[in-house]
Amino acid sequence: MDLGLASKRAVVTGASRGIGLATVRMLVAEGVRVVGAARTVTPELADTGAVTVSADLSTAEGVATLMERALAEFGGIDLLVNNVGAGDDMRPVGFLDTEDTEWQHTLDINLLSAVRASRAALPSLMKHRGAMVNISSIAARLPAASPVAYSAAKAALTALGKSLAEEFGPHGVRVNTVSPGVVRTSVWAEPEGFGGKVAAAAGAELTEYLQQMPKTLNITTGRLLEPEEVATLVTFLLSDAAANITGADYVIDGGTVKTS
């Protein structure tokens, strides 16, 4: 299938690993010129052939640096993937133990980064009738399954996508949301990541904890997601093959969420 992506220009945030890195690789393979942004540019990201930008996207200054560089590099952009989000820095604690600073950081990185990047990108996206995909989470639908600030921020991001799709659809811009379940990335698989903290809090060894997660979460397929599976969905939604899809929230979770 010809996805019609060759020679498009894209910005992908949170591109150093996981879903972001897989998306950069897939877009580059489709002939897309990509700017990949992350706080730390990993060797894996550098090897993709994308233009890389090191920026703290939890700040207005960091997002401005990224978007100015992307627009200057390409003369405009056609595609935006708002993927950056909280991960290793999250704590597996409840509402009463979540401090204001954690709320602010979680909202900055998961929601306001997308607000700021979208605001900067939309004039170009309208000009070129482009597309945007925001990476949310099933935590927006299953708030008891993750830290409350993260669930709230992702729910807000999902709502933002709906609003942007409605407002900018008449201007030729498509906006969709992808909501993954648990993805096998370093956030879950590394001892210092969120998964390591959750396993430690449960008194379990991380490898064993991850092996039990599909059963614990009642995942229908019996396994965790791989980043490339999410990236495939993102790439499709950005492409001409999805030209009449907008305002949608696609859950990709192996059947974790049992309701529509």
Residue 191: what pLDDT?
86
Catalytic-labelled residue, pool 74, 150, 168, 188 = 150
- Would residue 209 show up in a list of annotated catalytic residues for this protein? no
Mean residue pLDDT of the chain comes to 95
User: In this predicted structure, which of 76-90, 116-130, 188-202, 229-243 has the lowest mean pLDDT?
Assistant: 188-202
Residue 87: what pLDDT?
66
Given a contact cutoff of 8 angstroms between Cβ atoms, the answer to whether 13 and 37 are in contact is yes
Given a contact cutoff of 8 angstroms between Cβ atoms, the answer to whether 144 and 225 are in contact is no
How is domain 9-182+227-252 classified at the CATH fold level?
A: Rossmann fold (3.40.50)
Q: Where in the chain is the domain with CATH 3.40.50.720?
A: 9-182+227-252
3 state SS of 56? coil
Distance CA 173, CA 168 (A): 6
71-98 pLDDT, tens digit each: 999 999 999 999 999 766 788 889 999 9
Structure tokens at 56: 């703290």
Higher-confidence residue of 198 and 130: namely 130
Higher-confidence residue of 195 and 6: namely 6
